[in-house]
Amino acid sequence: MDYKSAAEIDHGSDDSEVVPTGQGFSAAPVRLVPVVLAGGAGSRLWPMSREQYPKQLIDVLGPDSLLQATVQRMKGFQADLGAASSPIIVCGDEHRFVTAEQLRARGIDARIVVEPARRDTAPALTLAAAAACADGEDAIVVVMPADHAIVDVSAFQLAIAQAAQHAERGAIVTLGVPPTRPDSGFGYIKLGVALASGAHRIERFVEKPAAELAAQYLASGQYWWNSGIFVVRASVWLAVLRMIQPAMYDACVSAHAQGASDGLFFRPGADAFKSSPSDSIDYAVMERLGSEEKFAKGVVIPLEAGWSDLGSWDAVWEALDKDADGNAGRGRVVFEGATSSFAHSEGRLVACVGVTNVVVVETDDAVLVADRSRVQEVKSVVNRIRALQAPEADVHRKVRRPWGYYDSIDHGERFQVKRIVVNPGGRLSLQLHHHRAEHWIVVSGTALVTRGSEQFMLSENQSTFIPLGVTHRLENPGKLPLELIEVQSGSYLGEDDIVRFDDTYGRA
């Protein structure tokens, strides 16, 4: 598809937005498509967030993961442009199955675009914009990071409806949050000319100023926090990107054109996408809107809906309800004489006595204790753990797979014990191991076992042995989860000792 050049954009008068006039788009009413950017690692929320199960997939605030909460934020949206269409989710290859499962669990029908590699948010948005234009329409995309918290969803939807009116006329719109404190952890937007309903032109962006400068911004009343939420016509984004970031535009549009569906997922062309420069939406485009009049105009809409960028444990503490002493806790947590502290327990009882401004996070295999004022340094701790080649930097003890999960509950020099749960209809790959044998004991449910040329069923309290070097497969043919205990023994027990012959989920 010809997405038109930026030169084809009609800029209108000084008080109007850009009006797209390119070829290839229908004259049908503009659709509004939520786009959720669900890549990234979120290492500052370690030990809950890790490389293979990052923060957008965890439930730090409530029963829903941050991804589930973000997608549901547009549920029931109605505005002059109509209801929102099914969302587009952009995620990494390693997280695609968990992403799909979390959406399915909430009854969300979405298009999942799988990034072949991490290239930051601007290329991710470009893939989504190309997908939103693929049917010949020129959709307005509502671009939301998957790791934010919003308290007042109605106020959020009202701001989106207002932003969509400007986007329909061709502006690139962002939601700005009036600051409540001089926070140097956020980017800021300087307000330009006032528009209707509290909106402003964007004069310029300032990326994470020093604390003294952030205090001056707060006192001036001329700066808002940059929420990272954008509303823009897909064609406008593509046209502007082609003018100012031609290499990124060519790589991402080519990747989409070369892409193909793979079951639940859309896979862009890997080689083309990997050739794209890596950059954020702010750096690639938004920071140039205030100074480059030949580009689309930037508009900022106020968002006063209890917004929080959950980039650290201090931000999580801020977003949660607190007791009379300013403490917030989740799980099995007890406070005694503690103030302004946060504690999270995944299982074991955590007791905080006489502490102030402390963060404690307990998981199955790691415990974090930090001063709340220094939680930004958690990322440095993760880098040190990774340098030590310790697995806790990247993986949890419980590891999710497309078919379910396993939990490594014990291990020694030549053995490992796992609890394996296979979802109904789940099917592990047909595989063998060169260095280990396995014993399987069914705890509950029914297992269909392939072992060499044999195939047989196992039920509760039955077991079998898989010798070293024998092909095997485990399946759950039932309607309830299958749970079993696996005891591995051998000279090497690493997950890379797997030779796959057939896999339902397309893994190598």
CATH number of the domain that residue 466 is part of: 2.60.120.10
Higher local confidence (pLDDT), 79 or 151: 151
> Does 167 have pLDDT greater than 70?
yes
Q: What is the mean pLDDT of residues 320-330?
A: 97
Q: How many domains does the chain have?
A: 3
32-78 per-position pLDDT tens digit: 999 999 987 778 999 999 998 999 999 999 899 999 999 999 988 87
> Do 193 and 335 belong together in one domain?
no
Identify the weakest region by mean pLDDT among 72-76, 153-157, 485-489.
72-76
Residue 389 has pLDDT above 90, yes or no: yes
Do 284 and 402 lie in one domain? The reply is no
| pLDDT of the residue at 12 | 38
Domain end call among 246, 280, 309: 309
Same domain, 426 and 409: yes
* Domain match, 381 and 489 both: no
108 and 51, same structural domain? Answer: yes
Let me know whether 422 and 286 are in one domain. no
Are 425 and 378 within one domain?
A: no
d(CA 188, CA 179): 9
Would residue 366 count as lying in a domain?
Answer: yes
Q: Is residue 392 part of a domain?
A: no
Query: Does position 294 have pLDDT exceeding 60, yes or no?
Result: no
Residue 439 has phi, psi (to 5 degrees) of -110, 130
Calpha distance 379→384 (Å, rounded): 9
pLDDT bracket for residue 14 (50, 70, 90): very low
pTM of the predicted structure, to 2 decimals: 0.87
Q: Which residue matches tokens 């696996």?
A: 486
* Burial of residue 87, with CB atoms counted within 10 A of its CB: 0-12 exposed, 13-18 middle, 19 or more buried: buried
For residue 181, give the CATH number of its domain.
Answer: 3.90.550.10
Let me know whether 353 and 370 are in one domain. yes
Task: Please report whether residue 410 resides in a domain.
Answer: yes
Give kind and range of the element (H or E) at residue 159.
helix 153-168
134 with 150, same domain: the answer is: yes
Is the pLDDT at 396 greater than 50? The verdict is yes
Is a pLDDT exceeding 60 seen at residue 293?
no
In percent, the amount of the chain with pLDDT more than 70 equals 92
Report which of residues 31 and 142 the model is more confident about.
142
For residue 508, being part of any structural domain is answered with no
Segment 171-181 mean pLDDT: 94
pLDDT value at residue 206: 85
pLDDT tens profile 108-149: 999 999 999 999 999 999 999 999 988 777 899 999 999 999
Range of the domain at 349: 313-387
Asked if 173 and 45 sit in the same domain, the reply is yes
Q: What is the mean pLDDT of residues 241-248?
A: 94
In this structure, are 433 and 379 located in the same domain? Answer: no
Angle between the 246-257 and 121-132 helix axes, to the nearest 10 degrees?
50
Res 25: pLDDT: 41
- Residue 117 resides in a domain: yes
- Whole-angstrom Cα distance, residue 83 to residue 76? 7
CA separation for the pair 410, 439 (Å, rounded): 14
Q: Is 40 helix (H, G, I), strand (E, B) or coil?
A: coil
Average pLDDT of the segment spanning 237-256: 96
Helix pair 234-244, 121-132: axis angle to 10 deg: 130
Name the more confident of 297 and 425.
425
Same domain, 99 and 227: yes
Is residue 96 a part of any domain in this protein?
yes
For residue 183, being part of any structural domain is answered with yes
Last residue of a domain, one of 276, 309, 342: 309
Among 25-34, 44-53, 424-433, the least confident range: 25-34
In this prediction, residue 208 carries a pLDDT of: 83
Instruction: For 77-143, give the DSSP string.
Output: -EETTEEB---EEEEEGGGHHHHHHHHHHTT---EEEEESS---HHHHHHHHHHHHTTTS--PEEEE
Q: Tell me if 350 is assigned to some domain.
A: yes
Instruction: Name the more confident of 18 and 425.
Output: 425
Query: Domain ends where: 309, 329, 357?
Result: 309
Query: Higher pLDDT residue, 208 or 369?
Result: 369
